[in-house]
Chains A and B, each alone.
Chain A
């Protein structure tokens, strides 16, 4: 901002290469960020976006490549060096101390006592100037995720950066918070701070960014102006295949019998920082898909644990699967009455990564697949079951004997969803069905979920991805603070109305639904 007549691009990187054991994360990647530009770095999970920006921020050391910053060739060995050049970064996962105030947290990141003088005032000034409302004296523990993100942004802005890197900033925000963030980012760009915006949300990128670099499998595949392309075109460049949307399903008739009923389900979280479930009542009919929207950490993992039986409910009648009181049943018993579940975490929860796909197919499928005879594993049938999942769900792997950890996230997720779908469930509950999954695999998973509902199963999808919920669900409810709102029909819901529920405290929600019912 203080250079005289700046000219030429702010940052040019060429030939950036990084080899990890068994994985070429970046293969001669180039990137050019102009001054005053909001530049999108687009790509699926595993395309190498994070590795590239970590090299810019000095967290990862490149094996090869050239970085030119304001016309000068530089090397960036540490984050400190990056900051001195004027590069700031807001990570996806924040590094904040819960027990300290906003000011204290920011002061901790500053190198010298001199910088701390008048810090509180500067925080207030920046936060009002850029539309980032923050109370410097609040303790972080009490702040929402959106507010915490603002702390990280303000922390960067205090350094007067020329480039601000934002890694998937909107994944933790409600739709209205996203709009506010965009206003701030546009303002920053106009004042001379370029933004490198990492995302795989194409609508956002089209709305916000004036240029985009698209990566696939560790390489550059395109550089374009995103506004000049459709979402579909961008997605196709990103995944290198034609993108189909799932075919819409006919609506369920209103009088199908309920297959999953929750009656005032209340569960205390076992985790100290978990969210307890409070009085959740809902019912899902056969053939219906209910979407549970919500920001991470509002009780989603407790909900699926409570439904799968990993955490038993207080009363048997609080969970009814096809009319059977299942609240006290463990996971195996619930599977016996045709309840199937896909948890969010693949590694070590839904799957044992060090075991073969056949073993993982057996893990949850041995009961319904009758894969045990007289206490002995029927190896032939287990292999056949795993093979069936691999074929029908197009899982890219060397075969059922491959270890689960050798699969990409998307392929493993297809395998895990396939494992449950092929058990012919009457009730299927999936937490974050396409989290960290590439677009091709996401489509396959969405189609499988819809086909299952078409066949008469009751399906609950718990997702942070509102697009996904609007595509799949017949009705939508929101989980916030461990409570679930009254479901509304998808066709009468809007992103704004759902977003409001996501951001609200539980009291707001109660008030909202009271108004809706009045």
Chain B
């Protein structure tokens, strides 16, 4: 029978090998699911994970999809390190897009040099407001941030639906639930002419590096790490838990808001009810797959972005439902958390011995 034994220390090898093992197991399990659906498992996994990259501009599409995931994943890895469980990045993403998008719609004729920075700031602040409310509720009323942040995610989604189908609906939009297109001056600058590759693709890795430096090298980052590992030691050192909760929620909220406003101004060019296909929730997987390390979040974000593209490819090429993406992500998170048992434990095969009399 299998026996789980404590190692007594954290395995360095499995710290990096566990996510890779989780990926392999996810591939195998989704292959089985595809087989059960009567599809050739090898071809399906191939279509899901490789085909999107072989398309023309496949890597550009990947980078554009990954940018918001990385930004949010970075913010979450910071918060989660401090044991601040922000689950509502999707709401912060949405509120950021609403605030930034509102500025874009209100001042269509403003010059780009002034308008775009204002939109970005609006998005960032929108996310911070949402995150700040969560922090305030936790500190003031001891309300669990997992619940409040998640509830805010729904509130923001319905606020978006209300705005886009109500006061902000494009009067010339044939009744579609969307706002007017933003003016050209409101759109995110492109890195490559005539492509979707907007400035967020450059910002995401820069933010990841900046947060990594903050977390590993600064006093503030040290405080986050101590708070996450030993609350009493943080108190002994004189680090204020409340202040750190504020900072964690404001940064992770702000980065989600930034991701939201860049998605709106960089990819869509307007606000629609389907602004976020669950990016905020996917970002939670990104943060864990990246081992809550901002640098690790970059490849993790790229991989999860691939699952979105793969879902599209599987739908188009194989006629599979788009839910494949969600299934794949769910299986991945399951194995990721499960494989972490190998960090502190080893699994041994023990032969059943007859009991000593």
A-chain residues with CB within 8 Å of residue B229 when the two chains form the complex: 348, 352, 354-355
B-chain residues with CB within 8 Å of residue A364 when the two chains form the complex: 236-237
B-chain residues with CB within 8 Å of residue A309 when the two chains form the complex: 238
Whether B230 is near chain A, meaning CB under 8 Å from some CB there, is yes
Whether B195 is near chain A, meaning CB under 8 Å from some CB there, is no
Whether B225 is near chain A, meaning CB under 8 Å from some CB there, is yes
* Distance from B16 Cβ to chain A, minimum over Cβ atoms (Å): 17
* Distance from A406 Cβ to chain B, minimum over Cβ atoms (Å): 8
Whether A351 is near chain B, meaning CB under 8 Å from some CB there, is yes
| B217:A310 contact, CB within 8 angstroms | no
B-chain residues with CB within 8 Å of residue A362 when the two chains form the complex: 222
Chain B proximity mask over A147-162: 1 for CB below 8 Å, otherwise 0: 0000000000000000
| B238:A330 contact, CB within 8 angstroms | yes
Whether A376 is near chain B, meaning CB under 8 Å from some CB there, is yes
A-chain residues with CB within 8 Å of residue B5 when the two chains form the complex: 21
Chain A proximity mask over B197-214: 1 for CB below 8 Å, otherwise 0: 000000000000000000
| A335:B238 contact, CB within 8 angstroms | yes
B-chain residues with CB within 8 Å of residue A355 when the two chains form the complex: 225-226, 229
Give complex CA distance A335, B239 in Å.
Answer: 13
Q: Which residue of B lies closest to A310 (CB)?
A: B235
Whether A366 is near chain B, meaning CB under 8 Å from some CB there, is yes
B-chain residues with CB within 8 Å of residue A50 when the two chains form the complex: none
Whether B6 is near chain A, meaning CB under 8 Å from some CB there, is yes
A352 CB contact (under 8 Å) in B7, B233, B356, B357: B233
Whether A332 is near chain B, meaning CB under 8 Å from some CB there, is yes
Instruction: Give B55-75 interface residues, CB cut-off 8 Å to A.
Output: none
* Distance from B18 Cβ to chain A, minimum over Cβ atoms (Å): 17
| B356:A75 contact, CB within 8 angstroms | yes
* Distance from A480 Cβ to chain B, minimum over Cβ atoms (Å): 25
B-chain residues with CB within 8 Å of residue A75 when the two chains form the complex: 356-357
Q: Which residue of A lies closest to B239 (CB)?
A: A332
B-chain residues with CB within 8 Å of residue A20 when the two chains form the complex: 8
Q: Which residue of A lies closest to B9 (CB)?
A: A22
A21-B6, A21-B7 as given contacts; A377 in contact with B233, CB under 8 Å = no
Whether A343 is near chain B, meaning CB under 8 Å from some CB there, is yes
Whether B317 is near chain A, meaning CB under 8 Å from some CB there, is no
* Distance from A300 Cβ to chain B, minimum over Cβ atoms (Å): 15
| A332:B238 contact, CB within 8 angstroms | yes
A-chain residues with CB within 8 Å of residue B7 when the two chains form the complex: 21-22
Give complex CA distance A366, B239 in Å.
Answer: 12
* Distance from A357 Cβ to chain B, minimum over Cβ atoms (Å): 14
B-chain residues with CB within 8 Å of residue A77 when the two chains form the complex: 356
Instruction: Give A329-343 interface residues, CB cut-off 8 Å to B.
Output: 330-335, 341, 343
B-chain residues with CB within 8 Å of residue A354 when the two chains form the complex: 10, 229
Whether B240 is near chain A, meaning CB under 8 Å from some CB there, is yes
Give complex CA distance A75, B356 in Å.
Answer: 8
A21-B7, A75-B356, A375-B220 as given contacts; A348 in contact with B230, CB under 8 Å = yes
| B8:A23 contact, CB within 8 angstroms | yes
| A308:B236 contact, CB within 8 angstroms | yes
* Distance from A191 Cβ to chain B, minimum over Cβ atoms (Å): 33
Give complex CA distance A330, B236 in Å.
Answer: 9
Whether B218 is near chain A, meaning CB under 8 Å from some CB there, is yes
Whether A244 is near chain B, meaning CB under 8 Å from some CB there, is no
Instruction: Give A356-377 interface residues, CB cut-off 8 Å to B.
Output: 359, 362-364, 366, 372, 375-377
A-chain residues with CB within 8 Å of residue B36 when the two chains form the complex: none
| B236:A377 contact, CB within 8 angstroms | no
A377 CB contact (under 8 Å) in B8, B217, B230, B238: B217
Give complex CA distance A309, B229 in Å.
Answer: 21
* Distance from A302 Cβ to chain B, minimum over Cβ atoms (Å): 14
Whether A169 is near chain B, meaning CB under 8 Å from some CB there, is no
Whether B232 is near chain A, meaning CB under 8 Å from some CB there, is yes
Give complex CA distance A405, B9 in Å.
Answer: 9
Whether A380 is near chain B, meaning CB under 8 Å from some CB there, is no
Give complex CA distance A355, B224 in Å.
Answer: 13
Q: Which residue of B lies closest to A347 (CB)?
A: B230
* Distance from B216 Cβ to chain A, minimum over Cβ atoms (Å): 9
Name, among B5, B225, B233, B240, the residue most crowded by chain A CB atoms within 10 Å (CB to CB): B233
| B218:A377 contact, CB within 8 angstroms | yes
Q: Which residue of B lies closest to A22 (CB)?
A: B8
| B238:A349 contact, CB within 8 angstroms | no
| A348:B217 contact, CB within 8 angstroms | no
Give complex CA distance A405, B8 in Å.
Answer: 10
Whether B192 is near chain A, meaning CB under 8 Å from some CB there, is no
Instruction: Give A372-394 interface residues, CB cut-off 8 Å to B.
Output: 372, 375-377, 379
Taking Cβ atoms with an 8 Å cutoff, the residues of A that contact B are 20-23, 75, 77, 308-310, 330-335, 341, 343, 345, 348-355, 359, 362-364, 366, 372, 375-377, 379, 405-406
- A-B residue pairs, 6 tightest by C-beta: A332-B238, A331-B238, A348-B230, A21-B8, A349-B232, A22-B8
16 CB < 8 A contacts A-B? A22-B7, A75-B357, A331-B235, A331-B238, A343-B236, A348-B232, A349-B230, A350-B233, A352-B229, A352-B230, A364-B237, A372-B219, A375-B218, A376-B218, A379-B217, A406-B9
